[in-house]
Structure 1
Amino acid sequence: MAQWERDERLAKAFLELADTLVEDFHLVDFLHVLTDHMLALLDVTAIGVIMVDAQRRLVDVTASTDTAHQLDENQVEFDEGPAKDCCSQHVQVGPVDLNDPATAERWPRFTKAARTAGFAVVAAMPLRLREEVIGAVNIFHGRPAGLHPASLRLGQALADAATIGILHQRLSQDQAERVGQLHIALNSRIIIEQAKGALGARLNIPPETAFERLRAHARNNRTSLTHLCQLVVEGGVSAGTFAATQDRTRRP
């Protein structure tokens, strides 16, 4: 990416992360905006976002890939990993070498799962404003030295901007709506999972590929990912919309 393109993308990122006072705000779609910009600007392999619910429990909400999503689920299930430490300690965690024996001792099950998935290093940065932490962003890289300090600083700045946007949006809601926001996000995640499965079956492609095409279509057409996935599940948009030439050779 040329420097002028990077500068434009950076400006766009902070503008979009601040633009949350809209009538059709969806937390999952907003967090996909965050992960898209992080992927473009930080030179990382994958990103996942875990949020803290009203009972202070961790909930995996969204990720840039199926693999990262599974690792976020692992952290919640195993009750260990960088995001858990990040949310409980209110500080950035890492970068942590996944091949270091000390890491395997610290997070045994998560480390094994992350290494099996092909990642070599991980970091987590809090979604925070002052003392309030509402979640964490996990950043994964396949190269041992892939997470550079400058990228982590920029990542934290983007995470901070996203947190301000989310909290600003919450201030415009009543308490019931605030509690319901994360439940809506979880329902959106279910719809996205259903759309991935449905599109993958129709085109005979892996769910990961289906997810990438859904994200790309939503981004290129400036539409809500959740709304697009709902249309796919309900049959309101043809699978052929997402088909590539090579898919035709895979169909029975």
Structure 2
Amino acid sequence: MISDGMADVLRTLGLGGDKDLAAGCVRALGVDGVAVSLLLDDGPLVEPLWCYPESSARFEELQYTFGEGPGPEAVRTGVVVLEPDLERVRPERWPALLPAALDTPVRGVFCFPLGIGAMRLGVLTVVRHDTHGLSRQQISDALALTAALTAAFLNEQGTRAAAGRTAVSPPSEAHRAVVHQATGMISVQLGVELAEALVRQRADPERGRGGRGGQETPAEIFVEVADSLIDDFDVIDLLQRLSSRCVELLDVDAAGIMLADEHGELQIMAASDEHTRLLELLAVQHDQGPCVECYGTGRATPNIDLTDDAAAATWPRFTAQARATGYVTTHALPLRLRDRVVGALNLFQNAPHRLGEGELALAQALADVATIAILQQRTLEQSHVETSRLQAALTSRVLIEQVKGVLAERWGTSVDDAFEAFRAYARSHRLRLADFAAEIIGGGFDTALIPAPTPSA
């Protein structure tokens, strides 16, 4: 979990080049300097939006001057660059930068790319004057700040979270053009014609179909995901929240997330509700359906008309079951990080309404954030962990399905209500869903301690 200091920074986050904000980030992270720089088209980094203190500004200027260093590398690769001791870096890696950098007080540099999936916005650079590196807590805080800054840039028009968690103030006139350039870059990379339309839709707090009071904005969702980027975050809970947020933010009636197992077959990981018909519809796609095609190609398959004979011919079992469930339109979007695809996000609609480019871009951004959380934040430089993490998560889902059945039968309620009661108890007691499910199935927990759901009227 992020520290209290970083939580305070995220609540007051602004992009106005405020020295106090930069200094607050330094204090919250417990480091000697921070800087935020934006990307200009596909070229070098532009001058920093803000830096603190002078040593950080000097290092950023060197990176910009020479066009090389950990910051440009992080932006180019989309991967966090952690270098606790510049003196131990191979000279040929940054031949022009290193001699000049060693004349500054900076000794450790840690760069976190700003962006979502294929979108590259810039970089957060953290520096130390010693070679102590960053602790796990400091890395978690930096990742949270990175996600919040990304959301802030995507909501450049000035979104203010209803709960006060993120406030984006207008950028200074000196930097306004730079922010618009970054927005244009996002437009090109997403293939969206009208950048302003995308920004407006992401910044509009009234969008979507919020079924609960106080609907969250996209910026808040990104910060919520950022708060999950901790050493032992619960993958299943994160994906469950994401599927629910898709229904809240987009004009869809249901959402499901499929992840590929070790054999490359898609398995259900999360759904916006736990009704049997939706789960069965997702399960059909283990070998056919838009999610299978999306996973195989890595490309989105949006606005599929399930009443069209072409859909029935392409995916006969899936289309028939979707129609029987009441859905007439579906969309499949890849869970991907650059060229790595690990699953798909499936959206369903009861009405024949096409999702626009802005809505689809937002859905893809949410899917990309989840993918980053799954693959990048927990593993950093341990890519071999990815397969075991996903397989463990898939196995955990089996246990959770078993618990849902046990509790529903025991309480005489629906599996949907049983899951909500199970999940609410786990979250209130800071228990991982998979561990809690295993304890129940193993007979090590008295389910009478879980408050039974109130019978539906």
TM-score (norm 1): 0.83
Give the superposition deviation at 1:109: 0.8
Deviation string 1:119-166 (CA, Å, 9 cap, x unpaired) is: 111101011122221111001111221645433221111111112222
Change (3 A) 1:37 1:222: farther
- Structure 2 stretches lacking a partner, 5+ long: 1-161, 163-203, 207-213
Would you say the 8 A contact 1:199–1:239 is kept in 2? no
Structure having the higher Rg: 2
User: Which of 367, 371, 384 is residue 163 of structure 1 equivalent to?
Assistant: 371
- 1:10 equivalent in structure 2: 218
**What CA distance in whole angstroms lies between the structure 1 residues aligned with 2:363 and 2:370?**
11
Change (3 A) 1:18 1:139: same
**What CA distance in whole angstroms lies between the structure 1 residues aligned with 2:341 and 2:281?**
21
- 1:243 equivalent in structure 2: 453
RMSD value over aligned CA atoms?
Answer: 2.9
User: Which of 316, 321, 324 is residue 108 of structure 1 equivalent to?
Assistant: 316
User: Which of 281, 300, 308 is residue 71 of structure 1 equivalent to?
Assistant: 281
Deviation string 1:185-233 (CA, Å, 9 cap, x unpaired) is: 1221112111111111111122233234444555677754434544554
1:238 alignment partner, SS class: helix
Give the superposition deviation at 1:116: 1.2
Deviates further, 224-233 or 184-193: 224-233
Would you say the 8 A contact 1:19–1:165 is kept in 2? no
For 1:162, give the aligned amino acid.
A
User: Which of 355, 359, 374 is residue 151 of structure 1 equivalent to?
Assistant: 359
- 2:394 equivalent in structure 1: 186
Deviates further, 87-96 or 233-242: 233-242
For 2:453, give the aligned amino acid.
A
**What CA distance in whole angstroms lies between the structure 2 residues aligned with 1:43 and 1:242?**
32
**What CA distance in whole angstroms lies between the structure 2 residues aligned with 1:85 and 1:59?**
14
- 1:83 equivalent in structure 2: 291
For 1:3, give the aligned amino acid.
P
For 1:195, give the aligned amino acid.
V
Superposed, 1:185-224 pairs within 5 Å as: 185-215=393-423, 224=432
**What CA distance in whole angstroms lies between the structure 1 residues aligned with 2:449 and 2:280?**
25
Change (3 A) 1:239 1:145: farther
- 1:250 equivalent in structure 2: none
Give the superposition deviation at 1:24: 1.8
Deviates further, 81-90 or 148-157: 148-157
Would you say the 8 A contact 1:29–1:225 is kept in 2? yes
**What CA distance in whole angstroms lies between the structure 2 residues aligned with 1:141 and 1:216?**
27
For 2:403, give the aligned amino acid.
A
Deviation string 1:35-69 (CA, Å, 9 cap, x unpaired) is: 12212211422111111234433233222233332
Give the superposition deviation at 1:182: 1.7
Deviation string 1:88-136 (CA, Å, 9 cap, x unpaired) is: 1211102111111111111111100111112111101011122221111
TM-score (norm 2): 0.48
Change (3 A) 1:112 1:189: same
Would you say the 8 A contact 2:413–2:455 is kept in 1? no
Aligned residues: 244
User: Which of 89, 114, 132 is residue 340 of structure 2 equivalent to?
Assistant: 132
**What CA distance in whole angstroms lies between the structure 1 residues aligned with 2:455 and 2:339?**
51
For 2:316, give the aligned amino acid.
P
Superposed, 1:52-71 pairs within 5 Å as: 52-64=260-272, 65-66=274-275, 67-71=277-281
2:343 alignment partner, SS class: strand
For 2:298, give the aligned amino acid.
H
